Structure 1
Amino acid sequence: MAKKSTLDTSITSYIGPKHWLSWIGMGIAYLISFLPWSMLQTFGALVGRALYSVSPRRRKICDVNFKICFPEMTGMERKQLTKEHFESMGKGLLETFASWFQNKNKFASRIRFEGEDVIKRVLEKGRGCVLISGHFSSLDICGSQVPRILDVHPIYKLQRNPVMNWVMERQRKILFSKTIERRNMREVLKSLKQNKAVWYAVDQDYGRPDSVFAPFYGRECATIAHIGRIAKMTNAPVVLYDYGRTKNGYKLIFTEVENFPTGNDVENATIMNKLMEQAIEPKKEQYFWAHRRFKTQPIEGDSSPY
């Protein structure tokens, strides 16, 4: 089924038998969301280990990415990091359920912000700001906490499952004053004009037409080009949003990106990729290594490493 927003669609469109398994899954997710934090972490790690056992394709993608990004790693080290990655993603899956179905204040005591002064300073300029981040396993639960200090309008990508979209879009509408589907540039510009923050995750391969090639861990990869263009067009400050899971909760850090944008798309992409590397290093296992980051090749027609 084609990806399509469900915000203007009634739930009655998704109650037929072909959707029953999806609704059962959502019901289970709702019940899981009530678990206390420590149990979410323990159960999530178990879910991740199960996913590791049944996901040979994703294990291979991780291994290829590790060979490219960390060529000094041995086979055993790559395998161990892959296992840790799957455990982290299992935790993230359950944290996503909690972010959808529980009040954002449930885990407020486990959240630590750094850089609130940065947010205040950039918004005083009156041009909004562009948050840039990577994809880490705690994306949803950390993202649900950002509105506590900042009116942020996240850019999102629709999923293939329409039931998941129906739930996701409505739950995020509760958390955020506005969400923007990633192709809707008009709404991005409108939000910045209103002095709001627009949040992009900038580290996925969206294909050749929307990208330039810039190094990521020393390998040229397709990187979205329009962040620098938006910043240049609107004079909106760009802020790195770095987040992740800690031993007892989560840390969210905001840092203004200096001397950005430059006048060159490749230079802008290179800066962003370097920032992503710096964010990944302290918490490698939490990054979305199962994504085919190097899928699109610099020379069209060259085979994918996956």
Structure 2
Amino acid sequence: MWLGLGLLWLVIHLPFAVLLKLGRLLGWGMYHLMRERREIARINLELCFPQWSAEQRNRVLRENFASNGIALFEMAIAWWWPPRRLAKLAQIEGLEHLQQAAAAGQGVVLMSLHFTTLEIGAALLGQRATIDGMYREHRNAAFDYVQRRGRERHNADAIAVEREDVRSMLKSLRKGRGIWYAPDQDYGRKASVFVPLFGIPAATVTATATFARLGKARVVPFTQTRLPGAQGYRLTVHPPLANFPQGDEEADALRINQWVEQEILRQPEQYMWVHRRFKTRPEGEARPYPKRQRRRRKRKSGN
């Protein structure tokens, strides 16, 4: 792992335009080698966009894998590029929404999506605002150490909050801090409700509304877009959601999913389609994805 991270550190010193080309090349390889993930993405696109032609879905699928390949280098850029070099990539809109919340001493749930650009988007915003991030510990200790340091380096008092540590998250919100949070993945039946996403019943977490209510915080949507031609990234901090939460779990979750749909449609190629978004189904409904292929470990002979 250390060797791989070291090689990645060397590569990201190349010009940004070159890294984008290398990322697309890596994505081409991923498309051909990662058959299981490619199938998941293909199924997701068929479920969400049945009105598209097969040709259109296939084009988005290939571009999506190119975007996933680029994301590896974006992650390394976010962790290791000098701050000044990194800052040149950002075009930020709507920063005043965070500033207004900070002036009022009110916490912010910075509601984001799992676009392939999420790592670099959070890093670029972190240079301009103090944002704590939701964090899931990696099984590999070396990678976890590097990941945590990379995410916390952009402002001195930022912290990475473990995803299951709800108490620390609420404490941060009540102190008037911002927390990066993405509610667009399938976290199982617990603490979720089924509401439509692109017309399909999807297990949707109710935590966004809960955090806003218990943390007395504003929900401020945040998106980032990789711009064409190595122009960098457009970061958009949207106005806070008005009259949210309403106190109705299904209505609040549906509102979140409607926003998710709206933002995905703006840049479907850059969304993380390889996630099993519809794996949790209503009672009696089969999962749309093939069973995972588990590799059997060869037992060593006892000679």
Same fold (TM over 0.5): yes
Query: In the TM superposition, what is the alpha-carbon distance from 1:107 to its structure 2 partner?
Result: 2.8
| SS, match of residue 262 in structure 1 | coil
Moved over 6 A (4+): none
Q: What is the distance in 2 between the residues matched to 1:106 and 1:210? A: 41
Query: In the TM superposition, what is the alpha-carbon distance from 1:70 to its structure 2 partner?
Result: 0.2
Of the structure 1 ranges 164-173 and 265-274, higher mean CA displacement relative to structure 2 is found in 164-173
The equivalent residue for 1:189 is 170
Q: What is the distance in 1 between the residues matched to 2:55 and 2:35? A: 16
The equivalent residue for 1:203 is 184
Letter of the 2:143 counterpart: M
Query: In the TM superposition, what is the alpha-carbon distance from 1:54 to its structure 2 partner?
Result: 0.2
1:132 partnered with 2:111:
yes
Query: In the TM superposition, what is the alpha-carbon distance from 1:148 to its structure 2 partner?
Result: 2.3
Q: What is the distance in 1 between the residues matched to 2:277 and 2:183? A: 11
The equivalent residue for 1:146 is 125
How do 1:12-27 residues align onto structure 2 when only pairs under 5 Å count?
A: 22-27=1-6
Query: In the TM superposition, what is the alpha-carbon distance from 1:119 to its structure 2 partner?
Result: 1.3
The equivalent residue for 1:235 is 216
| SS, match of residue 109 in structure 2 | strand
Of the structure 1 ranges 167-176 and 193-202, higher mean CA displacement relative to structure 2 is found in 167-176
**8 Å CA contact retained: 2:12, 2:73:** yes
Query: In the TM superposition, what is the alpha-carbon distance from 1:125 to its structure 2 partner?
Result: 2.3
Post-superposition Cα deviations, 1:166-225, rounded to whole Å, max 9, x if no partner, equal: 211122232352110100011111111221101101111111113111111111111111
The equivalent residue for 1:215 is 196
Distance change >3 Å, CA 101–CA 109, structure 1 → 2: closer
Letter of the 2:226 counterpart: R
1:68 aligns with one of 43, 47, 50: 47
2:66 aligns with one of 77, 87, 98: 87
**8 Å CA contact retained: 1:32, 1:97:** no
2:151 aligns with one of 172, 180, 190: 172
Higher helix share: 1
| SS, match of residue 145 in structure 1 | helix
Post-superposition Cα deviations, 1:220-276, rounded to whole Å, max 9, x if no partner, equal: 111111110121123211100011111211011111111211111111111111111
The equivalent residue for 2:247 is 263
Q: What is the distance in 1 between the residues matched to 2:145 and 2:88? A: 30
> How many residue pairs align between the two structures?
284
The equivalent residue for 2:297 is none
**8 Å CA contact retained: 1:231, 1:261:** yes
1:286 aligns with one of 250, 253, 270: 270
| SS, match of residue 36 in structure 2 | helix
Query: In the TM superposition, what is the alpha-carbon distance from 1:295 to its structure 2 partner?
Result: 0.6
| SS, match of residue 209 in structure 1 | coil
1:275 partnered with 2:293:
no
The equivalent residue for 1:304 is 287
1:115 partnered with 2:66:
no
The equivalent residue for 2:237 is 254
2:206 aligns with one of 212, 222, 225: 225
Q: CA RMSD in A?
A: 1.3
Identity %, equivalent residues: 35
| SS, match of residue 127 in structure 1 | coil
With normalisation by structure 1, the TM-score equals: 0.89
| SS, match of residue 192 in structure 1 | helix
Q: What is the distance in 2 between the residues matched to 1:139 and 1:58? A: 19
Q: What is the distance in 1 between the residues matched to 2:243 and 2:267? A: 26
Q: What is the distance in 1 between the residues matched to 2:70 and 2:101? A: 33
1:41 partnered with 2:20:
yes
Q: What is the distance in 2 between the residues matched to 1:234 and 1:95? A: 32
Query: In the TM superposition, what is the alpha-carbon distance from 1:29 to its structure 2 partner?
Result: 1.4
Q: What is the distance in 2 between the residues matched to 1:79 and 1:88? A: 14
Query: In the TM superposition, what is the alpha-carbon distance from 1:303 to its structure 2 partner?
Result: 2.0
Letter of the 1:242 counterpart: T
**8 Å CA contact retained: 2:79, 2:147:** yes
2:81 aligns with one of 90, 102, 119: 102
